[in-house]
């Protein structure tokens, strides 16, 4: 049976009084691997040669105090846990050292052996926890890098052949070079479009989750006009109505606001009623110095009342329609709003339509306050 060996704690103890160094070694040499120094310079030389987990220093030393020493090494040697021993009440220096992370804790001098032993073990536990967090962070960073490569693969390696398939299908229809009495080409085209739409949503979700928040000047009239024009090209049977009131400048994240509009309008287009003579989507935007209040509605199939508190969940799909989506769009909307400090609410009546109300903070007011 293999015996588990506890890792030996390596300690550097700095004190200008030799008796204190000898007393420390005598008390703890059987438990820890101990290195001693009688000055800050001597301690620094040892740090350059020997990796230690804990540094203990006396506060009052000639030439360089313990706090000053810890402050000077914190950037070069951030990992070791620092303990200060002092026989004097130097409250300002101690408060500064603790607040700025220069020391883990301080003990009174002369030190109590049991108290110092407990402090060392607690400090070592903190050291191990920090090192594990660092390992976890590096693994997370590696995972994020792999996710970035995967998303790149989605946007290029997967979409390229899909676009080729769609191109061939459209060409065959134009040239009428394929006899397709059963409509198989249409089925293939619909399936490819559905798959491509799902890939685009995954890419959009990734971009939304990874992008930094931006603060840009936004003209809602211009932004919304461009978005609506794109949807008109896809479906020109819908009556789009927009009303913008923006008497003051608005600053916000144009990428995420565009994502919000695109997903909500896309859903409104997708879930129109087939028997509606005048399908309509309307958007109202009212901007003031503190926020943009947006109302986006349609006269589509509506949402079941029992689903209203679930529609923003990832991969949720409504049951009152055969036109099932991918369950990502509204989740992205809620996530994007959360990241920019916005809110959203929804009201809906079955076979009557749905209305979303959105509030987005105007960052222009925050920037004015900062500059005043």
CATH at residue 222: 3.30.565.10
61 and 26, same domain (yes or no): yes
Average pLDDT, integer, range 226-248: 92
* pLDDT one-digit tens code per residue, 127-180: 999 999 999 988 988 887 777 777 767 677 778 888 888 888 888 888 888 888
Q: Is the residue at 60 inside a domain?
A: yes
Residues 195, 246, single domain; the answer is no
How far, in Å, CA of 238 to CA of 269, rounded? 8
Q: How far apart are CA 265 and CA 230, in angstroms?
A: 11
pLDDT bin (cut points 50, 70, 90) of residue 322 is: low
Which residues, 6+ apart, have CB-to-CB distance to 116 below 8 Å? 107
Between 45-54, 107-116, 138-147, 274-283, the lowest mean confidence (pLDDT) is in: 138-147
| Statement to judge: residues 183 and 327 lie in one domain | no
Whether 229 and 331 share a structural domain: yes
Task: Identify the burial level of 97 via C-beta atoms within 10 angstroms of its C-beta, where 0-12 means exposed, 13-18 middle and 19 or more buried.
Answer: buried
On the CB side of 366, CA atoms within 13 Å amount to 11
Q: Which pLDDT does position 370 carry in this prediction?
A: 45
Contact 69, 38 (CB under 8 A): no
The answer to whether residue 121 sits within a structural domain is no
Please tell me whether residues 317 and 362 are part of one structural domain.
yes
Q: Which helix (H) or strand (E) holds 64?
A: none
* 283 lies in some domain: yes
Query: What mean pLDDT is predicted for residues 8-36?
Result: 94
Residue 152: inside a domain:
yes
Same domain, 204 and 300: no
- Answer yes or no: do 220 and 149 share one domain: no
Predicted local confidence at residue 89, as pLDDT: 61
pLDDT for 71 equals: 87
188 and 253 together in one domain: no
Provide the residue count of the chain.
Answer: 372
State which of 189, 210, 231 marks the end of a domain.
210
Domain-terminating residue out of 173, 195, 210:
210
Q: Which residue, of 210, 238, 253, is where some domain finishes?
A: 210
Sheet containing 54-58: order of strands: 33-37, 10-14, 54-58, 81-86, 105-108
Average pLDDT over residues 98-126: 86
Q: Are residues 201 and 268 in the same domain?
A: no
pLDDT value at 84 more than 60 = yes
Do both 263 and 165 map to the same domain? no
Does residue 288 sit in the same domain as residue 191?
A: no
The verdict on residue 44 lying in a domain is yes
Give me 170's structure tokens: 């459209």
pLDDT (0 to 100) of residue 222 = 95
The answer to whether residue 312 is domain-embedded is yes
In-domain check, residue 263 = yes
Number of separate domains in the chain = 3
Residue 4 forms part of a structural domain: no
What is residue 369's predicted lDDT score, i.e. its pLDDT? Answer: 45
Give DSSP secondary structure letters for 128-192.
HHHHHHHHHHHHHHHHHHHHHHHHHHIIIIIHHHHHHHHHHHHHHHHHT-S--TT-HHHHHHHHH
Beta bridge partners of 222: none
The residue segments making up the domain with residue 339 are 216-371
Tell me the C-alpha distance between 31 and 181, whole Å.
86
Residues paired with residue 360 on neighbouring β-strands, in sequence order: 292
| Secondary structure element (H or E) that encloses residue 44, with its range | helix 40-49
């Amino acid at each position: 049976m293999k015996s588990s060996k506890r890792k030996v704690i390596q300690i550097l103890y700095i004190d200008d009084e030799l008796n204190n160094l000898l007393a420390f070694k005598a008390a703890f040499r059987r438990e820890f691997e101990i290195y001693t120094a009688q000055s800050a310079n001597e301690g620094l030389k040892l740090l350059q040669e020997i990796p230690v987990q804990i540094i203990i220093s006396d506060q009052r030393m000639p030439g360089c105090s313990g706090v000053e020493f810890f402050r000077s090494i914190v950037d070069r040697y951030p990992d070791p846990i620092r303990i200060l021993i002092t026989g004097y009440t130097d409250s300002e220096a101690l408060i500064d050292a603790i607040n700025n992370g220069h020391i883990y804790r301080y003990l009174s001098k002369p030190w109590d052996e049991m108290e110092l032993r407990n402090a060392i073990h607690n400090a070592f536990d903190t050291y191990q926890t920090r090192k594990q967090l660092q390992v976890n962070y590096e693994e997370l960073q590696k995972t994020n890098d792999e996710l970035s490569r995967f998303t790149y693969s989605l946007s290029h390696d997967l979409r390229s052949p899909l676009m080729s398939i769609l191109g061939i299908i459209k060409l065959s229809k134009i040239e009428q070079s394929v006899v397709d009495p059963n409509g198989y080409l249409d089925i293939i085209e619909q399936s490819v479009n559905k798959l491509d739409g799902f890939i685009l949503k995954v890419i959009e979700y990734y971009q939304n989750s990874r992008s930094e928040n931006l603060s840009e000047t936004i003209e809602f009239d211009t932004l919304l006009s461009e978005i609506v024009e794109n949807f008109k090209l896809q479906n020109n049977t819908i009556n789009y109505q927009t009303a913008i009131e923006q008497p003051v400048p608005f600053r916000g994240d144009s990428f995420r606001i565009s994502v919000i509009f695109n997903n909500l309008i896309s859903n409104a287009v997708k879930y129109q009623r087939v028997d509606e003579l005048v399908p309509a989507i309307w958007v109202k935007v009212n901007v003031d110095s503190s926020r943009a209040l947006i109302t986006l509605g349609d006269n589509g199939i509506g949402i079941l009342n029992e689903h209203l508190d679930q529609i923003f969940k990832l991969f949720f799909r409504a049951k009152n329609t055969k036109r099932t989506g991918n369950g990502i769009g509204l989740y992205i909307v809620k996530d994007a709003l959360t990241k920019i400090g916005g809110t959203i609410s929804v009201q809906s009546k079955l076979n009557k339509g749905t209305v979303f109300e959105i509030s987005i903070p105007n960052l222009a007011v925050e920037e004015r306050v900062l500059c005043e």
